[in-house]
Every structure is written in C-alpha cells, then in structure tokens.
A and B are shown apart, each in its own frame.
Chain A
Amino acid sequence: DGGITQSPKYLFRKEGQNVTLSCEQNLNHDAMYWYRQDPGQGLRLIYYSQIVNDFQKGDIAEGYSVSREKKESFPLTVTSAQKNPTAFYLCASSQPGSYEQYFGPGTRLTVT
C-alpha cells in the first residue's frame, strides 16, 4: 500500500513545542496538499504546492509552515503559534491537470 505515506500515525506534543509531520509520495506527482480534518468541519486546506520549491497558503495557514525541497516530500510544521493544533492531518497529491487527489493515511496530532 505505497503511494503516499505519512508518519507517524499518532503524535503527542506538549504545548509550546513545534512539531513536524512527514508526507512522502512515490507517485511522481507534482502537486501536494495538506489538510486538517476536524469533526463537523470537513477538510480544510492548510498549504499546497504545485511544484518543487513553491507553495501557497490555503484557507487556514496561520500557525503552520511547509517546505518543498524535493518532489517526493512535503513536510508540515505545526508551530507553537497554532492556537488549536490537536487534529487529524491529511496529506494528498495529484498529477498536473488532474484534480483527483490521492490521500495518505493521516497523522493524529494531540497537543497537551
């Protein structure tokens, strides 16, 4: 079950600490996305990247940062500035010109 991998599955952090979530894909997709999934709110876009070394803010980028140094990798850092970081985070990728997104298994982050 390759494609997109996210690690770890569960992550626990203390408040005030930055934490980085991993997302790797071997689908040779140019575009990658980070979403946050909260009950009753669906998927909300945090950041996305259409190409290496370029990324754009989504609807809820505040308190998050990303990098896209390699095509295969799109790590998300949840900073201490994010007011409500406890959530389920999903990474996705897609081919240029296709809007079908392929999703990873997700990481559940708990900050206490």
Chain B
Amino acid sequence: AQRVTQPEKLLSVFKGAPVELKCNYSYSGSPELFWYVQYSRQRLQLLLRHISRESIKGFTADLNKGETSFHLKKPFAQEEDSAMYYCALIDGNKLVFGAGTILRVKS
C-alpha cells in the first residue's frame, strides 16, 4: 500500500530560523504529492503541490525521487506559520495523508 511518513509529530523553531518539515513516501510509479495546512480554528487547505513547483507563503517543496522525499522548507519562519502540516500523495482517485507535523514558531 502507498504510504506517507512524517517522522516528526512536533517541530518547534524560533522566528527567523529555517524550517524543514520532513515527508517520505512509498509509491510505485511517479507520485503526485501535496502539502496541506491547518491553521488554528481554520479549515484544512491546500498549501502547495509538487507539480506546480510554486512557492506559497515562502514555502517550497522539492520532490526527490532518489530519496523518496518531499520535504517542505522555508528559509525564515514567521509566527503565523504555526499550524498543522500534512503531506499527502495521490493513490488512484484518492489522497493518502501522513500523520501530520505540528509546527510551532516561537518569538
């Protein structure tokens, strides 16, 4: 079965520090991967997808097929980045989510 692993339940960084949220996957074929984010008291929403290769709110994620990873990065964390982040991949016609990582940005 396809699987998404987010090894860190909680990542705590200081404001202005770099952030890297880890995501590893197991998938046979060419994966299509996403990052979703859930801010406090808001709905879960799409942050970015690897196909578009975009930067959203300063975040980027590069698909590394050799390492089967799709880590989410931001060079300088801001307090408003504090949220729950989920990595997900497409499996057929559904999404498979990782367990999620809580990011806490301290001032």
A residues neighboring B (CB under 8 Å): 31, 33, 35, 40-45, 48, 50, 58, 90, 92, 99-106
Contact A58 B94 (CB under 8 A): yes
Q: Does B49 have its Cβ within 8 Å of any Cβ on chain A?
A: yes
B residues neighboring A (CB under 8 Å): 6, 9, 32, 34, 43-46, 49, 86, 90, 93-100
Contact B9 A48 (CB under 8 A): no
Say whether chain A's binding surface is mostly helix, strand, loop, or mixed: strand
Chain B residues with CB under 8 Å of A102's CB are: 45
Contact B46 A45 (CB under 8 A): no
Name A99's contact: one of B9, B90, B98, B100 (CB within 8 Å). B90
Bound state CA distance, A101 and B90, in angstroms?
A: 11
Bound state CA distance, A41 and B98, in angstroms?
A: 8
Name B93's contact: one of A43, A50, A90 (CB within 8 Å). A50
Chain A residues with CB under 8 Å of B46's CB are: 100-101
Q: Other than the known A43-B44, A100-B46, what 19 A-B pairs have Cβ atoms closer than 8 Å?
A: A31-B93, A41-B99, A42-B6, A42-B86, A42-B99, A42-B100, A43-B97, A44-B97, A45-B94, A45-B96, A50-B93, A58-B94, A99-B32, A99-B34, A100-B34, A100-B49, A101-B46, A103-B45, A105-B43
For A43, give the chain B residue with the smallest CB separation: B97
